[in-house]
Structure 1
Amino acid sequence: MASKDDEVTTGVNLGIAIMLLGSIGFMMGIFYLVNHEDKEMQICTWKVICATISIFVSVLIYQAVNDAVKAMFLQDSSPIAAIEVAFAHSMVWFLTLQMFLATVSGAITWPWSAQLDRSEEADNKRALDLKCWAVILGHITGFAFISAWSQLHEHFDGSLIIFPLAYCVLRLLFKLAEKAREVVIYADDGEKDVMEEHWDEATEETEDDVMGLTMSYLLVQTIRFWATGYMPDAEGNMPGGHKTSDLQAALFMIVGILIAAASYMRTVYFPDWKDRNAMWLRLVCDFSFSWTIMFGIDAFLTNSGLGGAEFGVVGDVITACIVTVWAFAVIFFLDKKVDSAMHKEEELAASPNSRDQAKAKLQKRKRAAMRGTILALGVLIGFAWEKSFDTAVDDTAEKESNIMPPSFIKVVLAMLLATVVLPAWRWYILPEVVRLGGFSDPADEEAEDAVEKAEEGYRPPMLPETMEFQMQEMQKKIEKLELEKGALADEVNQLRRKVNDLQGKG
């Protein structure tokens, strides 16, 4: 009979084996997709990679800092104290976001700062740095507010009043931040320059991300509460001993698909609704779709004994792999529909008939809506892998808790991983995705035109070694052509001399 230690060892070995096979399969799958014969699939893959890595890094940093905060301030504290600390923590991140983006954009300079370089190269680098930190800090702040409002939601047993309360508080907070930015922007010279404009736009987009993450999670928590009768905790886990049945899981997956369909219909049939509320609605729909699908697949796998959160990091990795395969299958299907809509649009646009022109615009909006769904699927993959990495970091910290406190281990692991992952994401992935319009609003027709223009000229990114080899090959061709040019020039000169000789004899 196997001992308990043997069972633990077997479980650890199984986890390592699944992680090894899953990671190799995932990496090779990514190589296939970024080199897919369909250019649209290549582009979608880069956008999915960008979303996954940004969510992973953000949650990694937030969870590490959050655990350190809990260790310092919440030892043997009451639930009310935990909620108060969570809101204070989220406000710290929100204020950090405002100040840090102002500094990165160059809108605010400090006495110890170096003189601002306004060359084109420096401006481009500053724009990418701004987008990098806007995305990361937006996700971190969003997850901080998710934690705070979810704890309050749980404390009041899923009360519906939390949903409108959170919306009103966040809206008020964003309005106050907007007024503060206006004061800072117009305080010096009374005008808004380019850098201040970039700061304002980037911060507003980041606040939209925070609103979308927070409201979508509260909405999905409410749906799960109505479907199961039990309120999940702030981490999304069901209370002890309770499971989500297959019927309940299917129910909120269907609700998630209906929410995605509503977002699609809004983009296609209400194109003139473009204010900030429309943006928030789109983000809430997209993120809600992602949350419901992830929790639904997790419940199905848990009930079947094939994976899910109940099996720890092994189950989370299995869930993430299945979610990734499912999401890319849907992306492949939607990509074909986008191609079909594009062909229809081209045929209708060529017609002089006004009704055909209107139908062509409808097809264009359908393509934009499907692009939005594809971006939501990228977020879904990011959520799934974030959960597995979060569990892995927790397990590692708990395993080594006899050496140092788990919260300290998490901070160290987060710093090491972020130091490796974040620069690679910023240098090699983010610039390409920004150029391809990976962060634009699908409902914005002008932005979509820019995206399509960028995609038409898309070429897969090359490694430095590949670029150097191609440059050497081109240099060889240039030298060869120079030699041929010299030979042709000599031949032309000889022909001219012969012509001159013939003319002299004549």
Structure 2
Amino acid sequence: MDLFRYATIRDFTDERVVMCCEELEEAENDIFGLATSFLLVQVARYCITGVLPNAEGEERPFHPHGMTSAFLLIGMGAVCLVLGILLAFVPIGNKKLKHVSETMQNTLGMVFAWAVLVGARMVSREWAPLVQLVGDYATMRRLTIALTLSTCAITVIGALDLISDRLSGRDAKQLARVLQNMINVLSILIGLSWEACFESGVAELAQVSGDPERTTLLLSVGTIMVVVPAWRKHILERVQVLNRKFSERREALQTHGLEEDAEEEDKASPRQETEGSSRPLIQGKTKI
């Protein structure tokens, strides 16, 4: 990726080149965190249950492991989340080491998301009342998991947001960034749970059709046609507005000689807080 980037990009002062480099770096970090966290959870599942899941994270055929295994996996994810939070408080001056630290925080947060999702799946297969309710219907079981995790995550996100708004003192901004990282992790958990739900639904619809491959392709294209316009209209537009407000606030702080506050604002910029979202603007350059 770096060889291709440096072979094709010449003018690093061009605004579009800067935006391209930022998007490439963010994509590299997200891919690394997502892949590494998934593999770590796969290894943890093998260590806890003695059964190695397939490349999709499924056990086929399914082997019951008991509720203890599920809670051990969730506990491992919680430990990783705590380590990521503690890592955020470690002062690092070197730019490369800071990048490694941020990547590790991202990876540990995704480990928590994967561990909770897989643990919830194991609980849904082991908890007798839920087994009697949904039976062996995989899509219904995953839909129940997605609704439950989304409800819990949104509740916790609301509480963390309220706490973040009421922080004060010298370490308030540092704590606010930690809380924002936790909110990002819970957002990833919601996304993973619904992705698994939609994947199961598409697979079942494709199997009952006469042409599974073509049906899967058509359903995927239809999903993109629904999701992308909504993303551009609501999420992308909001990110642009937040970046513009941030740029105006940072310029105002610099105008009044508050460079330290401006640097703190830069660390807590909307581009950092909307992790996984597109970062469409360059601060102070692009006009909407």
TM-score of Structure 1 vs Structure 2, range by shorter chain: 0.7 to 0.9
1:328 counterpart (136, 142, 154): 154
Q: 1:203 to 1:312 in 2, by over 3 A?
A: same
**Counterparts of 1:230 and 1:191, CA distance in 2:** 49
Q: 1:365 to 1:274 in 2, by over 3 A?
A: farther
Cα gap change, 1:370 to 1:416, in 2 (>3 Å): same
Q: How big is the shift at 1:378?
A: 0.5
Aligned-residue offset at 1:369: 0.7
Q: Deviations over 1:144-178 (max 9, x none)?
A: xxxxxxxxxxxxxxxxxxxxxxxxxxxxxxxxx21
Contact kept, 8 Å, 1:298 with 1:309, in 2: the verdict is no
How far apart in 2 are the matches of 1:375 and 1:207? 17
What is the Cα deviation at residue 185 of structure 1?
A: 1.7
Query: CA–CA distance in 1 between the matches of 2:90 and 2:135?
Result: 39
Extract unaligned runs of 5+ from structure 1.
Answer: 1-176, 346-359, 455-506
Q: 1:370 to 1:273 in 2, by over 3 A?
A: farther
The DSSP-based 3-state class of the residue aligned with 2:9 is helix
Write the distance in 2 (CA, Å) between the matches of 1:184 and 1:293.
41
- The 1:288/1:182 distance shift into structure 2, 3 A limit, reads same
Aligned length: 249
| Pair 1:263 & 2:84 matched | yes
Distance, in Å, in 2 between the alignment partners of 1:293 and 1:274 is 32
Look up the match of 2:209. Answer: 400
Name the residue aligned to 1:480. none
1:66-108 deviations in Å (ceiling 9; x for gaps): xxxxxxxxxxxxxxxxxxxxxxxxxxxxxxxxxxxxxxxxxxx
TM-score (norm 1): 0.46
| CA deviation after TM superposition for structure 1 residue 428, in Å | 2.1
Q: Aligned partners of 1:332, 1:429: CA distance in 2, in Å?
A: 18
Farther-moved stretch of structure 1 (327-336 vs 221-230): 327-336
1:233 counterpart residue number: 54
| Aligned-pair CA distance for 1:338 | 1.8
Give matches, 1:342-421, under 5 Å. 342=167, 344-345=168-169, 360=170, 362-401=171-210, 405-421=211-227
Select which of 201, 210, 235 maps to 1:429.
235
Q: Which has the higher contact order (CA 8 A, sep 6+)?
A: 1
- Distance in 2, Cα, partners of 1:414 & 1:333: 35
Give 1:220's aligned amino acid: V
CA distance in 2, matches of 1:273, 1:260: 24
Note the aligned Cα RMSD (angstroms): 2.5
Could you tell me how far 1:310 is from its partner in structure 2?
A: 4.9
Q: Give the distance between the partners of 2:102 and 2:270, measured in 1 at CA.
A: 18
Distance 2:241 2:69 in 1: 41
Match among 114, 118, 124 for residue 301 of structure 1:
124
Alignment of 1:43-58 (within 5 A): none
- Equivalent residue, structure 2, for 1:314: 140
Are the equivalent residues in 1 in contact too, given 2:12–2:18 (CA < 8 A)?
no
**1:433 Cα offset (Å):** 3.4
**In 2, Cα distance between the equivalents of 1:406 and 1:386?**
19
Is the contact made by 1:397 and 1:410 (CA closer than 8 Å) also made in structure 2?
yes
1:263-302 counterparts in 2 under 5 A? 263-270=84-91, 272=93, 275=96, 276-302=99-125
Q: Distance in 2 between matches of 1:193 and 1:446?
A: 24
Call closer, same or farther: CA 1:226–1:267 in 2, change over 3 Å.
same
Distance 2:48 2:267 in 1: 38
Secondary structure, counterpart of 2:137 in structure 1: helix
Residue ranges of structure 2 left out of the alignment (5+ in a row): 247-262, 274-288
Secondary structure of 1:269's counterpart equals: coil
| Equivalent pair of 2:239/2:270 in contact (CA under 8 Å) | no
Instruction: Choose from 149, 163, 179 the match for 1:337.
Output: 163
Change in Cα spacing, 1:208 to 1:286, as seen in structure 2 (3 Å) is same
The normalised TM-score by structure 2 is 0.79
- CA separation of 1:191/1:415 partners in 2, compared to 1, >3 Å: closer, same or farther? closer
